[in-house]
Amino acid sequence: MLTLGLDACALTATVSLVEDGKVLALLQSTNRLNHSVRLLPMIEEILKISERGLTDLDLIAISAGPGSFTGVRIGISTVKGLAFGDTIPCVPVSTLEALAYTQRDTDALVCPLMDARRGEFYQALFQASHGDLKRLYDDRPIDDQTLYRELSQTGKRVLLCGDGAELFSCAHADDPAFWLASPVTRLQNAASVALIGEARYQDGFFVKASALAPIYLRQSGAERKRQKTDKEV
């Protein structure tokens, strides 16, 4: 099975090609270019260096959120354009789960964090144990102080990953219970998205590209502003 994995939910845009559990290629880029400009050339490049084509794909796995509203939409729209009118099955993957997946070989609580702005994070919690990863609760938005209180109550050390990890760590630098994942594995990695997607597909979970939907967890700024305007009227 040949699987294309994509993640454009944050500053990092990443694309990977996986075949039967083996990572053939991985591209990652973290800069200020728009993902709508960057993503398709990355897909073309990874297919080229792997000597494969779009028609060789058996599956597309996409990080469907949470994350940047614009980035999530770009990723979903790109997949819908690539799937040849629903002929290629797709698997939506949680961005937070894919982040935690990169830390699965540790033996620790793993807390993926994405900066959700306005003093909040997108967050989930997993127990990693030498290759296994167990989700402890669903993805959610949460403020810094509530999260700090909850994690402190576990009485365990917590490994932080994701683009919000350093922000949270700096805010609580005097607490030895938290440590940062390596910069090499801290941010989005489309190989994790593809590997999770491949496993889900083998378990019978997949959807048509037309059924893919973003996972936002909260309203966009435009929606909040519109609701506020409606109430004032």
Mapping DSSP onto H, E and C, the string for the chain reads CEEEEEECCCCEEEEEEEECCEEEEEEEEECCCCHHHHHHHHHHHHHHHCCCCHHHCCEEEEEEECCCHHHHHHHHHHHHHHCCCCCCCEEEEEHHHHHHHCCCCCEEEEEEEEEEECCEEEEEEEEEECCEEEEEEEEEEEEHHHHHHHHHHCCCCEEEECCCHHHHHHHCCCCCCEEECCCCCCCCCHHHHHHHHHHHHHCCCCECHHHCCCCCCCCCHHHHHHHHHHHHC
**Band of the pLDDT at 218, cuts 50, 70, 90?**
confident
What domains appear along the chain, each with residue ranges and CATH number?
Answer: 2-95+188-228 (3.30.420.40), 97-180 (3.30.420.200)
Tokens of residue 170, six digits: 């700096």
Q: Provide the pLDDT confidence category of residue 232 given band limits of 50, 70 and 90.
A: very low
Report the length, in residues, of the chain.
233
**Is residue 24 predicted with pLDDT exceeding 90?**
yes
For the cut 70, the answer to whether the pLDDT of residue 222 exceeds it is no
Residue tagged 């500053």 (tokens): 11
- Mean pLDDT of the region 140-148: 97
> Residues 6 or more apart from 17 whose CB is under 8 A from it?
2, 3, 4, 5, 23, 24, 25, 26, 46, 47, 50, 52, 194
* Cα distance between residue 43 and residue 47, in whole Å: 6
Q: Check residue 1 and give its pLDDT.
A: 96
- Work out the average pLDDT over 45-54: 96
> What was the pLDDT predicted at 219?
60
- Is the pLDDT at 70 greater than 80? The verdict is yes
Query: Residue 69's closest CA among 233, 225, 217?
Result: 217
Range 146-154 average pLDDT: 96
What's the rounded mean pLDDT across residues 194-207? 98
Q: How confident is the model at residue 36 (pLDDT cuts 50, 70, 90)?
A: confident
- Looking at residue 35, what is its pLDDT? 83
Average pLDDT of the chain is 91
Percent residues over pLDDT 90 in the chain: 85
Interval 151-188: pLDDT, tens: 999 999 999 999 999 999 999 999 999 999 999 999 99
Closest-CA residue to 138 (of 191, 173, 81, 96): 96
Reported confidence tier of residue 226, pLDDT bands at 50, 70, 90: very low
Nearest to 109 by CA among 140, 151, 143: 151
pTM equals: 0.91
Please check the confidence at residue 112 and state whether its pLDDT lies above 80.
yes
Look at 20-24, 57-61, 189-193, 216-220 and tell me which has the smallest mean pLDDT.
216-220
